[in-house]
Chain A
Amino acid sequence: MAQAIIGRKIGMTRFFLEGGKNIPVTVIQAGPCIVTQIKTIATDGYAAVQLGFEDVKPRNSTMAVIGHDIKAGTAPKRIHKELRCKDDAEAGVFTVGATVDASILAGVGYVDVVGISKGKGFQGVMKKFGFKGLTATHGTERKHRSPGSIGSHGTDRGHGAKIKKGKRMAGQMGDDQVTARSLDVVKIDAENNVILVKGAVPGATNGILVIRAATRLYKRKAKKLVKA
């Protein structure tokens, strides 16, 4: 968690790089956050840093949250998120009550952005998983978008002729936690706590995001870093 922060998606626009290259960017309000709690292996069994983001009116909060945030010496926060650390030492870099702003990501080339994707409701397998459906003709009636068979022959033996666990079927799509990995950081404006990231990030405008330094790079981007 050495380099992570809570943010809010503001929207997308166009950005011209030096030399005139024209790229799509997502504008993210990142922080300022307050460290509201530090969890250690001794007391909690794991190490983590809890950040609070955005003030909330006390009357819109609960006594439990207000009391929790008073311990960190701050006004109640709307969003609290725990960010896991490898060990106590990594979490120990932070102190309770300290402010974390967008400058924590300074020097980071690529970030992962975690958000809740837009809900699509109950969807069939064609939209949800890209199944091909059945044929349009050749006598197919009333099941052009159906998944077809979902199992047989003892469902490949060993499943007691039951449907396999995790079989892809129609159901709720979206409204899931999604991580967009290794997005390019275009610009960090520490003064206004604004980060510009290349491309789209999960979720709707005004959605809550966690932005962290990329944990793992795609090969192509990793190669580019080595070259630079």
Chain B
Amino acid sequence: MNRSEILASIIKSQMKPAEFFPTFSPGDTLDIHYKIIEGEKERTQIFQGVLLSDTGAGVHRMLRIRRIIANEGVERTFPAHNPRLVKIEVVRRGDSRRAKLFYLRERFGKSRRLRDQRRGLKHVAGQTATGRESGG
């Protein structure tokens, strides 16, 4: 192995397989299943919120999730390749025109929500571009 291959192999050993990540983009509401240690025990906690930004390449990838807990905005940044992050689920597709959705922090009420994304869904496997699902 030459030197760049060594570095690449170490980075790869730290990364999750591509299949781990469902297709999602900023604006989507995600369920992040995250293992936490409570005293002796280990359990999985779900953090559900809107994906504000998805930055960093390779092993440095970070997912910034915002949710509202008791009327208070809470943001968490998850290292996407951390072994404690065990599962990501897409709950809802949000229609967003930009990659960083920090403007949502200043929004309240209805305007805080993004429109359900139902157009141009070719990239989402298993979803069709027709019809609106209820809720969202």
Contacting pair A194 B84 (CB below 8 A): no
Q: Tell whether, in the assembled complex, residue A14 and residue B60 are in contact, meaning their CB atoms are under 8 Å apart.
A: yes
B7 touches A11 (CB 8 A): yes
Check B37 for interface membership: any CB of A closer than 8 A.
yes
Taking a contact as CB atoms under 8 Å apart, the answer to whether A19 and B14 are in contact is no
A196 at the interface (CB under 8 A from B): yes
If A16-B82, A20-B35, A20-B84 touch, whether A194 touches B14 (CB-CB below 8 Å) is: no
Residues of chain A with a CB closer than 8 A to B59's CB:
13-14
> Which chain A residue shows the least CB distance to B37?
A19
| B60 close to A10 (CB less than 8 A) | no
A181-196 contacts to B, CB under 8 A, are 192, 194, 196
Q: Which of the four size classes fits the interface of chain B?
A: 10 to 19
CB distance from A209 to the nearest CB of B (A): 13
- The smallest beta-carbon distance between A79 and chain B, in angstroms, is 15
Residue in A16, A20, A29 whose CB lies within 8 Å of B3: A29
Contact B14 A192 (CB under 8 A): no
Contact B7–A16 (Cβ < 8 Å): no
B10 touching A20, Cβ below 8 Å: no
- Is the beta-carbon distance between A10 and B83 smaller than 8 angstroms? no
> What is the bound-complex CA distance between A11 and B8, given in angstroms?
10
Q: Which of B88-115 contact A (CB under 8 A)?
A: none
A15 within 8 A of B: yes
Q: Which residues does chain B contribute within 8 Å of A61, judged by CB atoms?
A: none
Q: How many A-B residue pairs have CB under 8 A?
A: 41
A5-39 residues with Cβ-Cβ distance < 8 A to B are 8, 10-11, 13-16, 19-20, 22, 27, 29
Q: Give the nearest-CB partner of A28 in chain B.
A: B6
CA distance A27 to B14 in the complex (A): 13
Residues of B within 8 A of A13 (CB): 7, 10-11, 14, 59
**Are A194 and B6 in contact (CB-based, < 8 A)?**
yes
CA distance A13 to B6 in the complex (A): 12
CA distance A29 to B6 in the complex (A): 8
Which of B1, B4, B6, B83 lies in contact with A16, CB distance below 8 A?
Answer: B83
Taken residue by residue from 65 to 89, chain B's Cβ proximity to chain A (1 for < 8 Å, 0 otherwise) reads as 0000000000000010111100000
CA–CA, A139 and B53, complex, Å: 48
Contact A16:B10 (CB < 8 A) given known A8-B3, A206-B3: no
Assess the B79–A22 pair: CB atoms within 8 A. Answer: yes
**Does B3 contact A10, Cβ atoms closer than 8 Å?**
yes
What would 16 A/B residue contacts be, using CB atoms closer than 8 Å?
A8-B3, A10-B3, A11-B7, A13-B59, A14-B14, A15-B10, A16-B81, A19-B37, A20-B35, A20-B82, A27-B7, A27-B10, A29-B3, A29-B6, A192-B6, A196-B10
Considering the complex of A and B, which 6 residue pairs feature the smallest CB-CB distances, nearest first?
A: A20-B84, A10-B3, A11-B7, A20-B82, A14-B59, A10-B7
Which positions in A face B, CB cutoff 8 Å? Answer: 8, 10-11, 13-16, 19-20, 22, 27, 29, 192, 194, 196, 206
Known: A10-B7, A13-B7, A194-B6. 19 other contacts (CB 8 A): A8-B3, A10-B4, A10-B6, A13-B10, A13-B11, A13-B59, A14-B14, A14-B79, A15-B14, A16-B14, A19-B37, A19-B84, A20-B82, A20-B84, A22-B79, A27-B6, A27-B7, A192-B1, A194-B10
